[in-house]
Amino acid sequence: MQYSLCIGAYPGQDALYHLRKIKEHGFGGLELYAWWQLGDLSAFAREQEKIGAGIIATCTKEFNLVDPAKREDYLAGLRETIEACRVLGTRSIITQTGAVREGVPREEQRDAMVETLKRCAQLLEGTDLVLEVEPLNGLVDHPGHFLQASGESAEVIDRVGSDRVKLVFDVYHQQITEGNVIRNAVQYAPQINHYHIADNPGRKQPGTGELNYINILRAIRDTGFNGYVGLECGYTTDTDEALLRFKEEIASKV
Catalytic residues: 134, 232
Angle at Cα 141 formed by Cα 132 and Cα 3, nearest 5°?
45
Between the alpha carbon of residue 227 and those of residues 2, 143, 155, 196, 203, the distances in Å are 6, 29, 21, 11, 22
Q: Taking Cα atoms as reference points, which of 252, 210, 217 lies closest to residue 231?
A: 217
Residues 6+ apart with CB under 8 A from 179: none
Instruction: Please check whether residue 239 is in contact with residue 9, taking contact to mean a CB–CB distance below 8 angstroms.
Output: yes
Cis omega (within 30 of 0) for bond into 190: no
From CA 103, how far away is CA 207, in angstroms rounded?
41
Q: Taking Cα atoms as reference points, which of 86, 81, 40, 75 lies closest to residue 60?
A: 81
